[in-house]
Amino acid sequence: MISRLAKAKRVIVKVGSALLVDQKSGTIKADWLSSLVDDLVALKVAGADVILVSSGAIALGRRSLGLASGKLKLEQSQAAAAVGQIALAQAWAQALRQRDIVAAQILVTLQDTEERQRYLNARATLSTLLAQGAVPVINENDTVATSEIRYGDNDRLAARVASMMAGDCLVLLSDIDGLYSAPPDRPGAEFIAEVKEITPEIEAMAGKPISGVGSGGMITKIEAGKIALSSGCNMVIASGHNLHPLKRILDGERCTWFLAQSNAMQSRKRWIAGTLAPVGRLMVDDGAKTALGKGKSLLSAGVKAVEGSFSRGDTVSIMAGGAEFARGLVAFDADDARKIVGLKSADVQKLLGADCADELIHRDDLVML
C-alpha cells in the first residue's frame, strides 16, 4: 500500500521540542534535524507543499538566561522563547539552505487563526511562500501571547495551520510512536493503528503529558486530531526518536493514523454552506449563474447588485431570479463590491488597484446549494 503520506499534496509537519533539543546540553540535535530536512526535501521533490511547525524556542533559550531546569513561570517561558527563537529559526534556515531551500519564519498567536482578517492575511502570506517554493517554519509567538490568548502547545497550532491551509496530511512527530489503549508501560496496553472517529473512548485513552520538555502530551494530540479531521485532513502521530522520521512513516513503520472522512475541499464547502450565516447578498445574471454551475469563480462582471454590509471574508448569498442558489466567502468589503458591480476584471484593477483579488468570490470559496 502506498503510504497516505506519499499521496498528500500539502503536508504539515509538527516537530516537538524533545526531538529537536538535546535535554542535557540545551542545544539543537543537528544530525536529527538534517535527516528530517532530507525527508522534507524528498516530499517536496515528489510535488508536495511542506509547512513546518517547530517547537523548541523555550527549550533552546532557557539555559542562556540561567533558567536551565525546573518548571518555568509564564513570563520566564516567554523570555526564554525570545532568546531561543533566534537559534531555532537559524537552525532551520541553515539546514534548509544547505538543500537550496528558502526558510520563512512565521510567529502566530491564537487570534491569527481565529480572527477573520488576520486569518486571511496569514493564509495569503503562507500561500505566497508556498507558491515561491519556500518552506514556512511556524511557531507560536510565545513572547507576546498572554495566558488567555495562548495555544500553549504546538499540536493544536499545527492542526489549525493544517485547517487554514487545507492541508491533507498533518504529521505530529513526538517522543511516542502513536496512541495506545492505556499508558504504554501498563500491561495489556494495546497499540491503536487507525482511528476513523474521535470518540469519547479514544479521548479516554489519552493520558497525561509524559515528556520533560514541550507542553504537549496525548491529550493535545487528540484535540489536534479533532481539528484536523473536521477540516478533512488526515493526521498521523509518529515517533521522531530515530533519524529520517518521515521516511520511516513512508516505509510503513508503526504509527497511528487518524483518517478524515472527507477531503479538505469537501469539508470547507460544507463549512461555508452550513456553518456560517450569510451577511450580504449578491444578485447575479443568468450568465454568471451558469458559469458558477460549471465550477467557475464569480466575477464582478456578472453581478447586478449588492445588498448588505459585509467585510472581506464574510459569507454572502448568491441570488438569481430572487432565489439563493449559492453561497461563498466574498473577497471584497461591501463598499468596494458595490463600486465594481458589472465591471470587467481589468477595470476593477484600474479602480481599486492591481493588488485586489481577481474574483469577487474564488471558486474554492464558493458552494452551490
Q: Which residues bind ligand GLU (CB under 6 A)?
A: 16-17, 55-59, 81, 139-140, 142, 153-154, 214-216
Cell of 46: 515528489
How far apart are alpha carbons 173 and 236 in whole angstroms? Answer: 8
User: Length of the chain, please?
Assistant: 369
102 to 41, 84, 94, 353: CA distances (angstroms): 12, 20, 9, 30
**Min CB(16)–ligand GLU separation in Å:** 6
Strand residues in 109-267 grouped as ranges (E): 135-140, 169-174, 179-180, 191-192, 194-195, 234-239, 256-258
- Residue nearer to ligand GLU on the CB measure, 171 or 326: 171
Among the listed residues 307, 230, 237, 241, the one whose alpha carbon sits nearest the alpha carbon of residue 266: 230
> SS3 of 325, please?
strand
- Residue nearer to ligand GLU on the CB measure, 109 or 267: 109
- Residue nearer to ligand GLU on the CB measure, 167 or 313: 167
Would you say 126 and 106 are in contact if contact means Cβ atoms under 8 Å apart?
yes
Cell of 162: 493544517
- Residue nearer to ligand GLU on the CB measure, 220 or 300: 220
How far apart are alpha carbons 352 and 342 in whole angstroms? Answer: 14
- Residue nearer to ligand GLU on the CB measure, 20 or 348: 20
- Residue nearer to ligand GLU on the CB measure, 145 or 316: 145
How far apart are alpha carbons 110 and 295 in whole angstroms? Answer: 33
Would you say 30 and 91 are in contact if contact means Cβ atoms under 8 Å apart?
yes
- Residue nearer to ligand GLU on the CB measure, 66 or 295: 66
**Percentages of the chain per state (helix, strand, coil), in multiples of 5:** 40, 20, 40
Between β-strands 135-140 and 49-54, what pairing exists: parallel, antiparallel or unpaired? parallel
**Min CB(122)–ligand GLU separation in Å:** 17
- Residue nearer to ligand GLU on the CB measure, 11 or 108: 108
DSSP letter at 120 equals: H
283 to 204, 241, 304, 312, 356: CA distances (angstroms): 50, 57, 5, 17, 21
